[in-house]
């Protein structure tokens, strides 16, 4: 299938076999098929393939369903469960299988190794290029390349990390800040680059280990920013400052930037927690103690327990039999993914302390229910908050930011809202009669000025003023 890009058949990047129809592989396969590349999408999960064949995506991702139906209808995307069929005539194979964390935090590369072995064994073209899309620790591509060469298979092996955020993956795919391709075969890297040339994004071709570290470094630095602002939020609470105001000020400095300075429950999802720990383990493997990464992970874990402590304090230390309404289960808005979601830790902790939790989420309720057997999960947020001793905001879905708090006021048992993402309108809540507690900011109560529970330093008290 020509892309109409003026390249000869030999120069065409496809046919392309993508292995893994997960959050990354599915979006990548559908978007490249829509660009005109002939794509075969291979997965071992028959249930997932059956859902895809019916034109439905196994993941909640805006814009994906329409694109999927379009490329299936036009025959540009072929779904396969047999690697020989998927690799027949393929001139490129892309591995987008999972690299979940092992118990000690190292990345589990078993799926990558298995998938690489299968595509190499079933390649029919002499010039097939294999691309690792999955996030793999520094040095992995080079090591796998050596392994392939030792087995007499000398296909060029490149790495092309993904920078897709869940909930905006299709948009992110079409508007990447750059395309990073790592490898030791320039021609092969340029062939991979041709897959993405229609995006007009800058292409950065590096050695494979640098490309792997660009991916880990990007995610880790973003995670560090989040943990930094969360530590600043704690200090704001102790000193009576407002972390939103502080973050606006800090973020105005163009060297820092405002993005990822949102204080709250911290980072979850399938990437940041996994990638930060995997990078720390990779550093340790090479004899380096990457303390900054450990600090980011520790601060992040602490945010969840600090948040539960806020709820407990707001209910005078006793959560036994209190009804807590939790708004949001997905790790962030726009997705149904609950991997490493703050909601799971917070709800389990509340239930351990004797609370009865009712939770809601626009799309992640079903996935969360499997991990929260004692939690009542309802679809409607107004039903969720009815009779609540406290309403707790965990995921900043637009639906919850837009809730009608005057309608909620007569429904709840106590007028108490604790906002884990600093996304609600404190003024509107106080006007509706609620006490509004958030992260890194003063508590707001109806009819009372913002309360800051900071204490003057002794040396200031001793010296007096004037
Ligand atoms: C991907 C990358 O793999 C990960 O490194 C990155 O950090 C995030 O994106 P993800 O897409 O979330 O992870 O993986 P997952 O949702 O687990 O999907 C992987 C898919 O590969 C699954 O559907 C699984 O069935 C399939 N798979 C796995 C295969 O088809 N063959 C295998 O050998 C292993
Ligand atoms: C991230 C990276 O953004 C993406 O480039 C990479 O490819 C995969 O990992 P994702 O994990 O989907 O994407 O979501 P992201 O929007 O980055 O948020 C990550 C976590 O950080 C979420 O739990 C979010 O709630 C949290 N977060 C984000 C904050 O706590 N504060 C912020 O200011 C921003």
Q: Are residues 35 and 108 in the same domain?
A: yes
> Residue 323 — φ and ψ, nearest 5°?
-95, 115
Q: What is the pTM of this model?
A: 0.94
454 pLDDT exceeds 60?
no
Q: What are phi and psi of 371, to 5 degrees?
A: -100, -5
Which atom belonging to ligand 2 lies closest to the Cα atom of 335? 12
pLDDT digits (tens, 9 = 90+) for 413-435: 999 999 999 999 999 999 999 99
pLDDT tens, residue by residue, 63-77: 999 999 999 999 999
pLDDT tens-digit readout, 287-341: 999 999 999 999 999 999 999 999 999 999 999 999 999 999 999 999 999 999 9
In which residue are the tokens 């959560």 written? 319
Query: Average pLDDT in the 391-406 region?
Result: 98
Within a domain: 174 = yes
Note whether residue 321 is domain-resident: yes
Which residue's CA lies nearest to atom 13 of ligand 1?
98
Can you tell me the distance from the alpha carbon of 152 to that of 238, in angstroms, rounded to the nearest whole number? 63
What gap in Å lies between CA 341 and CA 343, rounded to an integer?
Answer: 5
Q: For a substitution probing ligand 2, which of 135, 168, 222, 303 has the most ligand atoms within 8 Å of its CB?
A: 222
Whether residue 67 is found in the same domain as residue 165: yes
What residue ranges line ligand 2, CB within 6 angstroms?
162-166, 219, 226, 260-262, 264, 266-269, 271-272, 331-332
At 2 the pLDDT is 46
Pick the residue whose CA is nearest to atom 28 on ligand 2: 260
| 149 and 245 inside one domain | no
**Phi and psi torsions of 107, nearest 5°:** -75, 135
Q: Give me the number of domains the chain comprises.
A: 2
User: Does residue 183 sit in the same domain as residue 266?
Assistant: no
- Examine residue 403 and state whether it is found in any structural domain, yes or no: yes
Domain-located, residue 186: yes
Q: With respect to residue 1, please indicate whether it lies within any of the assigned structural domains.
A: no
Same domain? For 134 and 281 the reply is no
What CA–CA distance (Å, rounded) separates 396 from 414? 22
Work out the mean pLDDT of the chain and round it to a whole number: 94
| pLDDT at residue 1, as a whole number | 38
Residues 6+ apart with CB under 8 A from 88: 122, 124
205 contacts: CB under 8 Å, gap ≥ 6: 181, 182, 183, 186, 189, 190, 193
Q: How far is the CA of 84 from the centre of ligand 2 (A)?
A: 37
Residue 28 CB–ligand 1 contact under 6 Å: no
Mutational test site, ligand 1, from 20, 41, 87, 211, max ligand atoms within 8 Å of CB: 20
3 occurs within a structural domain: no
Please identify, among 206, 240, 273, the residue that sits at the C-terminal boundary of a domain. 206
Whether residues 194 and 262 fall in one domain: no
From the candidates 31, 271, 384, 423, give the one annotated as an active-site residue: 271
3 state SS of 298:
helix
Q: Taking the CB of residue 112, how many other CB atoms lie within 10 A of it? A: 25
Average pLDDT over residues 195-222: 97
Domain that holds residue 352: 207-466
Task: For residue 4, tell me if it sits in a domain.
Answer: no
pLDDT for res 148: 86
Taking the CA of 49 as reference, the closest ligand is 1
pLDDT at 243: 98
> What are the C-alpha distances in Å from 394 to residues 320, 331, 347, 352?
21, 9, 10, 18
**How far, in Å, from the CA of 224 to the mean position of ligand 1?**
25
Mean pLDDT, rounded, for 85-103: 96
Domain's final residue, options 184, 206, 228 = 206
Are residue 299 and residue 405 in the same domain, yes or no? yes
Same domain, 86 and 225: no
Q: Is there a single domain that holds both residue 175 and residue 297? A: no
Nearest-angstrom CA–CA distance, 423 and 123:
51
Q: Please indicate, yes or no, whether residues 213 and 347 belong to a single structural domain of this protein.
A: yes
32-43 pLDDT, tens digit per residue, is: 999 999 999 999
Whether 384 sits among the annotated catalytic residues: the reply is no
Tell me: do 55 and 190 sit in the same domain. yes
CA 300 – ligand 2 centroid, Å = 13
Q: At 340, which CATH number? A: 3.40.50.720
Length of the chain: 466
Name the residue with the closest Cα to ligand 2, atom 14.
165
* 166 and 257 co-located in one domain: no
Q: How far is Cα 374 from Cα 369, in angstroms, rounded to an integer?
A: 9
- CA of 134, nearest ligand number: 1
Closest C-alpha residue for ligand 1 atom 15: 22
- The pLDDT score that the predictor gives to residue 453 is 55
Residue 450 placed within a domain: yes
Q: What is the structure's pLDDT at 151?
A: 79
Q: Which residue has the tokens 């949001």?
A: 328
Report H helices in 286-434.
291-314, 342-352, 365-369, 381-385, 398-401, 405-408, 426-431
Residue finishing a domain among 206, 226, 253:
206
């Amino acid at each position: 299938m020509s892309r109409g890009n003026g390249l000869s058949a030999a120069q065409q990047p496809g046919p392309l076999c993508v292995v893994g129809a997960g959050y990354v592989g599915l979006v990548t396969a559908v978007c490249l098929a829509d660009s005109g590349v002939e794509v075969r999408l291979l997965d071992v999960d028959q249930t997932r393939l059956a859902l895809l064949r019916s034109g439905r995506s196994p993941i909640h991702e805006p814009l994906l369903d329409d694109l999927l139906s379009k490329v299936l209808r036009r025959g540009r995307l072929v779904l396969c469960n047999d690697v020989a069929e998927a690799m027949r005539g393929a001139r490129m194979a892309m591995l987008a299988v999972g690299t979940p964390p092992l118990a000690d935090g190292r990345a589990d590369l078993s799926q990558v190794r298995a998938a690489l072995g299968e595509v190499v064994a079933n390649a029919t073209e002499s010039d097939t290029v294999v691309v690792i899309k999955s996030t793999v620790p520094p040095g992995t591509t080079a090591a796998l390349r050596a392994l392939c060469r030792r087995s007499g298979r000398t296909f060029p092996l490149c790495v092309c990390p993904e920078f897709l955020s869940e909930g905006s993956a299709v948009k992110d795919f079409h508007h990447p800040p750059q395309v990073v391709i790592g490898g030791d075969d320039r021609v092969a890297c340029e062939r991979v680059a041709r897959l993405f040339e229609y995006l007009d994004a800058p292409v950065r071709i590096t050695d494979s280990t640098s490309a792997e570290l660009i991916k880990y470094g990007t995610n880790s630095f973003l995670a560090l920013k989040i943990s930094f602002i969360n530590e600043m939020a704690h200090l704001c609470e102790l000193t009576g400052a407002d972390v939103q105001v502080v973050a606006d000020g800090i973020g105005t400095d163009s060297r820092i930037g405002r993005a990822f300075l949102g204080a709250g429950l911290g980072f979850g999802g399938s990437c940041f927690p996994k990638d930060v720990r995997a990078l720390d383990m990779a550093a340790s493997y090479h004899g380096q103690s990457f303390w900054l990464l450990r600090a980011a992970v520790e601060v992040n874990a602490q945010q969840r327990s600090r948040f539960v402590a806020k709820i407990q304090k707001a209910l005078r230390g006793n959560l036994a039999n209190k009804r807590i309404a939790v708004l949001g289960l997905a790790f962030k808005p726009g997705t149904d993914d609950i991997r490493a979601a703050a909601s799971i830790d917070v709800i389990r902790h509340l239930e351990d302390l004797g609370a009865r939790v009712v939770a809601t989420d626009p799309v992640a309720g079903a996935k969360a229910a499997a991990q929260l057997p004692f939690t009542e999960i309802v679809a409607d947020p107004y039903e969720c908050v009815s009779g609540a001793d406290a309403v707790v905001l965990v995921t900043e879905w637009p639906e919850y930011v837009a809730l009608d708090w005057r309608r909620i006021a007569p429904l709840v048992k106590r007028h108490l809202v604790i906002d884990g993402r600093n996304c609600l309108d404190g003024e509107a809540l106080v006007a509706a009669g609620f006490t509004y507690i958030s992260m890194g900011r003063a508590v707001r109560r109806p009819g009372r000025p913002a309360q800051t529970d900071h204490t003057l330093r002794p040396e200031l008290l001793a010296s007096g003023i004037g």
